[in-house]
Every structure is written in C-alpha cells, then in structure tokens.
Amino acid sequence: MKKIIIFFLFLPIFLSAQEHIILVGNVFDGVSFFPIKEANIYNFNSKKYCFTDKEGNFHIFVKKGDTLVVSKPIYKQVLIEVDKEMIEKKLLEVAVFYKVITLKEVNVYALPPTYEVFKKDFINTNLTDYYLKIDGTTINKEEKMLYSSNTGNILGLIPGQVGQAIAHPISFLYDTFSRKAKMGRLYQELIDNQEEVERLPAKYNRELVSSLTGLYGENLLDFMTYCKFSYYDLIRWSPEFIIAQIQKKYGDYEFYKALEGY
C-alpha cells in the first residue's frame, strides 16, 4: 500500500520529466540562407539557454508551451512557442532578418586609414583656384604663394568670418565621403523605409521559394544561396517582382546545374 501511495505522489514528476525533449534546431539568415553562428536561444520558461555553432545548429531542452527567444546582435529577435508539431518532429528551423539594413549600395571610396594621412595626400593634390575663392574667405598673395609651394599647412590658410566657423574643403570632403558619414545616411534611409523593412520576411521566405521551385532540403539551400538577393533589392521590390525574379533565377539555376552535369 505504501509503495502505491509513493508511486502516485511522484507520478506528476515523472510525467513532467517525460514531457521534456531535446529540441534540435538551426538558425539561418532569411535572405542569404547562410547559417548564423553564436546566436542565443533562451528558454523563457526554464531559464536555460544555448548558442548556435558555426553551422547554425543548436539543441535545447523544451516542453510543449515553452517560449524560446532567438537573438543575435544586428538581427531581430524571434519569439517561438513550442507546439505539438515541434515536440513530435524534435526539429526547429529559424530564419532571422537584419534589424539594421544597408538600404543603399554605394561606391566605396578608398580613403587612407587616418585623417592625417588623408590630409597629407590631399594637400599634395593640385586644386583649382575655386578652392581659393570660397565666399567669406580671403587669401592674400603671400598665403597663396605658400599654398602653391606646398611648404605650409593649408588648413591654416582659410580663416572664418567673424562669428562663423568655415569648414575647410579637406575636412568637408573627408567627412562627406568617410564610412561614418555614409553609414549615417544609410541609417536615416532605414528609418525612412522602416515599413518595407518590417514586411521583408513576408515578401521573401523559404516557403515561398520552395512553392515556386519545388525544391526542399539541401537543394533548396543550394538554390537560395545561388540567388544572392540583397536586402536592399528585396525591400525595394514588390512581392510580384520578387516572384518573377525567383522564377528567372530558377531558370538560370537549372541551366547552370545542367552544365555541371557535362
């Protein structure tokens, strides 16, 4: 009798333990389809966590109803509720998308590594007289000769007006074309187009590509890697145009695979 009572006392614990499984998963970029390493998977209910390996793989103990938080710097967090299907398959694949996206592909200017080197290179460049006639500045004959001989510091030649600071062309060009200035402009463009950024996962995803091509598993991975669509293009394109581009890429992909067979 005592054995029966003890059994029933511990039965809920046994059942609870049986509900937990090891969930195997993979985290990948939703556009490039590349695996995301060192992403954090946190079980909000059990307070346990793990990280993905270099192939984007992970495993974690879960039970039905648990909430998983998938996060990685620069990517949007993904919240997932463990359901019956996940428990049965013991498998989870998670697509993540950038939260900060480079919306504009710009020319990269090869700037020297430091401002001082840039300044020296720029001073040795022959400038037109336009830079010596900026409104609100004056350069006398001696200063102009000093500039022409390249023996002095051009930064000290152009004074500002009273109560007004005037940026020298060297400083202006450096700030304009530097990486920091570019990223500032791109970030502002991101803010201006935030609505399209939010729509991206619905416009382009693995399920859509699979339905259009009939590809699955490794073949689907291979094709999506072959596509090489950029975040910038996908944000600008309409859903209809994205479908057309996938179909066009698939035609090119089949031709490419056929050539590989020869």
Whether 127 and 91 share a structural domain: no
Which among 50-64, 120-134, 152-166 has the top mean pLDDT?
Answer: 50-64
Whether 182 is covered by a domain: the verdict is no
Q: What is the mean pLDDT of residues 73-97?
A: 91
- With cut-offs at 50, 70 and 90, classify the pLDDT of residue 147: low
**Residues above pLDDT 90, as percent of the chain:** 34
Domain stops at, among 96, 128, 160? 96
Same-domain pairing of 257 and 194: yes
- H runs (alpha helix) in 31-157: 84-89, 115-123, 141-149
Q: Where are the alpha helices (DSSP H) in 139-178?
A: 141-149, 169-177
Residues 74 and 132 in one domain: no
d(Cα 233, Cα 246) in Å, to the nearest integer?
A: 13
**In this structure, are residues 94 and 86 in contact, taking their beta carbons and an 8 Å threshold?**
no
Cα separation, 42 vs 58, in Å, equals: 11
Q: Is residue 198 part of a domain?
A: yes
Is residue 160 situated within a structural domain?
yes
Judged by DSSP in three states, 91 sits in: strand
Cβ contact 226:246 at 8 Å: no
**108 located within any domain:** no
Residue 164: the pLDDT is 41
Query: What is the Rg, in whole angstroms, of the alpha carbon atoms belonging to the chain?
Result: 30
Q: How many domains does the chain have?
A: 3
The verdict on residue 89 lying in a domain is yes
Q: Which residues of 163-176 are buried (b: 16+ CB within 10 A; e: fewer)?
A: eeeeebebeeebee
Residues 61, 46 contacting (CB under 8 angstroms): yes
Structural domain for 222, as ranges: 187-261
Q: Between the CA of residue 46 and those of 66, 94, 202, what are the distances in Å?
A: 8, 20, 31
**Band of the pLDDT at 116, cuts 50, 70, 90?**
low
Record the tokens describing residue 244, joined without a space. 């057309």
Residue 228 lies in a domain: yes
Same domain, 57 and 142: no
Average pLDDT over residues 144-170: 48
**62 and 125: one domain?**
no
* Same structural domain, 192 and 169: no
Pair (120, 85) in one structural domain: no
The CATH number linked to 89 is: 2.60.40.1120
Which structure tokens are listed for 153?
């510091």
Structure confidence at residue 78 as a pLDDT band (50, 70, 90): very high
Answering whether pTM is above 0.95, one says no
